[in-house]
Chain A
Amino acid sequence: GDSVTQTEGLVTLTKGLPVMLNCTYQTTYSPFLFWYVQHLNEAPKLLLKSSTDNKRTEHQGFYATLHKSSSSFHLQKSSVQLSDSALYFCASGTGGYKVVFGSGTRLLVSP
């Protein structure tokens, strides 16, 4: 079945440094990929989404590029802020109703 893998459970960084959160997926269909962000005690919210191969998608300083050749959709930011501390989920859909989520990566940014 379809699956999404996030290899890091926790990433800790000092503010101002760059970050990359890994996401790979498995699907037999043409995928839609999403990044959702969940701040403490809040609902998950969409951060980015893409279905176009090799096209960079950006929002709120974060960016990701869907690479179908490597089944990856890594999330990056060039300079993290304290407010970026949150739980980040990568998710995959196949254009149907089902969305599969990865296990999530918690990003902690320190002063």
Chain B
Amino acid sequence: DMKVTQMPRYLIKRMGENVLLECGQDMSHETMYWYRQDPGLGLQLIYISYDVDSNSEGDIPKGYRVSRKKREHFSLILDSAKTNQTSVYFCASSPGQGGAETLYFGSGTRLTVL
């Protein structure tokens, strides 16, 4: 079953705490993405990962970093979370170059930073 799994689904953190969002996929896709979704802004690209240890900044990388040590796992890290990082975060994977291929999304993590 082709699946992208995100953990946790809901997370509440205090400002200044570190946050780890995890994403896994069982399709051996090379390319993985982290997006955030805010009302009226659509999906904004945070980071792209082309494969293990091969990552690139997206459009809004400030305040975020990523880690991909295995092809099936892609983590998003917020060091010292800020209230403006309250959002819904989506992970996605693609079999090749996502600009021409279908993106498969996880169910999202709703992060609230107090």
The listed residue with most A CB atoms (<10 A of its CB), out of B33, B41, B90, B100, is B100
Q: Which of B99, B105, B107 is in CB contact (< 8 Å) with A96?
A: B99
Residue-wise interface mask of A (4-44) relative to B, using a CB-CB cutoff of 8 A (1 in contact, 0 not): 00100100000000000000000000001010100001111
Chain B 96-107: CB-based contact to A (< 8 A → 1; otherwise 0): 011110110111
Count how many chain B residues have C-beta atoms less than 8 Å from C-beta atoms of the other chain: 25
Chain A residue contacts of B25, Cβ below 8 A:
none
Q: Contacts A43-B108, A46-B103 known; A98 to B42 CB distance under 8 Å? A: no
Q: Are A46 and B99 in contact (CB under 8 A)?
A: no
Interface contact tally, CB-CB below 8 A: 67
In the complex the two chains form, is B42's CB within 8 Å of A102's CB? yes
B19 at the interface (CB under 8 A from A): no
Residue of B whose beta carbon sits closest to that of A106: B39
B106 touches which of A43, A46, A97, A98 (Cβ 8 Å): A43
Interface contact A97-B48, CB-CB below 8 Å: yes
B42 touches A104 (CB 8 A): yes
**Contact in complex: A43, B105 (CB < 8 Å):** yes
Chain A nearest CB from B7 CB (Å) reads 14
Q: Report the 9 A-B pairs with minimum CB-CB distance, sorted nearest first.
A: A93-B99, A43-B105, A101-B43, A103-B42, A101-B42, A95-B100, A96-B99, A46-B102, A44-B105
